[in-house]
Structure 1
Amino acid sequence: MRVLGVDPGLTRCGLGIVEGAPGRPPKLVAVGVIRTPTDLDVAQRLVLIEAGIEQWIAEHAPDAVAVERVFAQHNVRTVMGTAQASGVAMVVAARRGLPVALHTPSEVKAAVTGSGRAGKEQVTSMVTRILQLPERPTPADAADALALAICHVWRGAGTSRRQEAAQSELEARARAQSQVQVAKVQAALAQATQIRQAQLRAVRGGKR
């Protein structure tokens, strides 16, 4: 599985692509950052981010896209930009028919370091070790994007199986409910038929 990890941000949007499978060390495919000038309008900056992600998907052909789930922060302006960049990433992926997964920061940290409270330095160090890189990926946005991709490679298959199992259970419940509804309708029709027949017999008996 080849996964594009996106660490959303308006000024710096980290991108990292890894290839691998659950239980196996993933390999680095590409890593980088999309930067947008702060003097541009937000709409123009989002267009630049969209174009950059489009280019990466076209060039590297990932099988899925993993995006960091945005949480509220004290700096409302920062979280707004992060959410907007996140939305752009999801739209680009959906437009190309790629599955999109959202992973929380603690989930990514736990997958990469074993602790959901790990700091950025620890995450970067573990990403460097897992991918056997000659040097640490910089800036932190790039390392976080790789961590997202690694997290999805290692956990994505399990998540898919759980989703498939849940979907199968829902479908089974729907079929069972449908069968119950059909049985109820059939019983109601049979009862109505019996009542109608009884009424006809009563009418015929009265005519005699």
Structure 2
Amino acid sequence: MLILGLDPSLSCTGWGVIRVEGSRLAHIANGQVPTKPKAPMAERLDHIYAGIAAVIAAHAPDRAAAEEVFANKNAQSTLKLAQARGAVLAACGARGLSVNEHAARLVKKAVVGTGAADKNQVQAMLKVLLPGAQIAGADAADALAVAIADAHLVRG
């Protein structure tokens, strides 16, 4: 089974594809879809949508997983995150791909063993769980963590 992990963000959406066979995980691919900060919102969202649609077309995952929206202290930041998530979910939905949603703390707990893990701990565990994987950046690492968590949390 191929799982596409997604870390939606308006500035840079991360993605990662893993293969799951029983309890074995294998890295397939990962990357990031950055947007231009000064581009109009509609253009940025379209770029995210097209980027994730291309990933789905290239790798044909069986399902996807994304982090749930969390509320920032800044309402504008939360709104922008929600819009980026909408573009990502729309790209999945347009291709008939189901998306499981997981809280960030649950993703960290599934990958590291504690929901309070920091980004460095998550990235260190990715090196153990996906040896030899060349990770495109922090957003791609987060997306791979979401895919791994989904593999552990959702069977079938």
State the TM-score bracket (shorter-chain normalisation).
over 0.9
Cα shift at 1:138 = 4.3
Render the CA deviation track for 1:50-94: whole Å, top value 9, x for unaligned.
000010000000000101101101132322221111111111111
Change beyond 3 A, Cα 1:134–1:145: closer
Contact 1:25 1:131 (C-alpha < 8 Å) held by counterparts:
no
- 2:66 maps to a residue whose letter is V
Higher strand share: 2
- 1:5 maps to a residue whose letter is G
TM-score, normalised via structure 2 length: 0.94
The match for 2:44 is 45
Which ranges of structure 1 fall in alignment gaps of 5 or more residues?
161-208
The match for 1:114 is 113
The match for 1:180 is none
Divergent runs of 4+, >4 A: none
Query: Does 2:141 align with 1:140?
Result: no
Contact 1:19 1:153 (C-alpha < 8 Å) held by counterparts:
no
RCO higher in structure (CA 8 A, sep ≥6)? 2
Alignment of 1:70-109 (within 5 A): 70-109=69-108
Q: State the distance in 1 between where 2:53 and 2:29 align.
A: 14
SS at match of 1:26: strand
TM-score, normalised via structure 1 length: 0.72
Q: State the distance in 2 between where 1:73 and 1:94 align.
A: 26
Contact 2:31 2:140 (C-alpha < 8 Å) held by counterparts:
yes
Change beyond 3 A, Cα 1:96–1:128: same
The match for 2:53 is 54
- 2:18 maps to a residue whose letter is V
Q: Percent identity?
A: 39
- 2:32 maps to a residue whose letter is V
Which ranges of structure 2 fall in alignment gaps of 5 or more residues?
none
- 1:61 maps to a residue whose letter is A
Q: How many residues align?
A: 156
From the CA coordinates, give the structure whose radius of gyration is larger.
1
Contact 2:108 2:116 (C-alpha < 8 Å) held by counterparts:
yes
Change beyond 3 A, Cα 1:139–1:114: same
Q: State the distance in 2 between where 1:51 and 1:19 align.
A: 23
Cα shift at 1:100 = 0.8
- 2:153 maps to a residue whose letter is R
Query: Does 2:2 align with 1:12?
Result: no
- 1:4 maps to a residue whose letter is L
Higher helix share: 1
Q: State the distance in 2 between where 1:82 and 1:26 align.
A: 29
Contact 2:67 2:146 (C-alpha < 8 Å) held by counterparts:
yes
